[in-house]
Amino acid sequence: MQLGMIGLGRMGGNIVRRLLRAGHTAVVYDRSPEAVAALVEAGATGAASLEDLVAKLDVPRAAWVMLPAGAATEDTVNRLAPLMQRDDTIIDGGNSFYKDDIRRAAALREHGLHYVDVGTSGGVWGLERGYCMMIGGDKTAVDRLDPIFATLAPGIGDVSRTPGRESRDPRAEQGYIHAGPSGAGHFVKMIHNGIEYGLMQAYAEGFDILRHANSEELPAAQRFDLDLGDIAEVWRRGSVVSSWLLDLTAAALARDEHLDAFSGFVADSGEGRWTLNAAIEEAVPANVLAAALYARFRSREHASFADKMLSAMRKGFGGHQEPK
């Protein structure tokens, strides 16, 4: 199947590479000619502009926008829409705010265009591991794009199957779902990222307590010099708290137990704030998620070892760099 990709950064470029490896075709565009050239070398067709990209796509067209949420995505969708024809599809695979998706979908529907929002998780590892996708949009467009989503998804792999799911939608255990109408995909991804904040904060605080177990504030008999790398490693194997985040933590501690390469300035990309706004609108308590977000704000004034660990995890799964 053919796909147009706009934005060839860490995730956009690797999404194209994964599709090409599976025999799909792609037309690619980015403001950076070097990024386009790299994908052309991998087998994609390059485009010099949005107009050129649309002209090179087969009808009905599918163009995936993989850009930062906000102005960059909004501007690109607004420029792309007039170039498309009835029954074409615009896909937003970034981390857009779900209410923006609802608005865009309604506006594009008036012109006969489909809008699909894809909450995409997988970070810099998606090329090899696959991407977990939470998809919003009308059934016609989502079903038409299924070959793309099926290729990008991680598949069942070695994850044990959940008993009782035999009659349920099989796409979920392949690593992607059609969550609902436009906006539903990014809404689910938004909550996913809010939960991610809480999980990361729990690991970070726990390891910070372990690190200070030899504090002079404690009686001598209660002081322990603990090997954090070994603790992370043993917890990966059979422990109830094992996870991919713990895998990344163990890898970071194996390289540098003191995490000296990190300042501990922990950024937030917006989804945690949006998650709390949704909780407020629904009158749902979200104590842990709120505390995790506020801890990131605090890290920008006074960083701790826990904050360094948060930075290490963010770099591990998403390639996020601390601000200089």
- Report the catalytic residues: 189, 196
Strands 62-65 and 176-180: unpaired
DSSP symbol at 59: S
Strands 114-121 and 132-136: antiparallel
Round to whole Å and give the CA distance between 42 and 28: 11
DSSP symbol at 45: E
Nearest to 118 by CA among 185, 183, 58, 194: 185
- Cα R_g (the chain), whole angstroms: 22
Q: How many residues can be counted in the chain?
A: 324
Contacts of 283 (CB under 8 A, 6+ apart): none
Round to whole Å and give the CA distance between 266 and 250: 19
Round to whole Å and give the CA distance between 165 and 172: 10
Taking the CB of residue 180, how many other CB atoms lie within 10 A of it? 14
Round to whole Å and give the CA distance between 33 and 30: 7
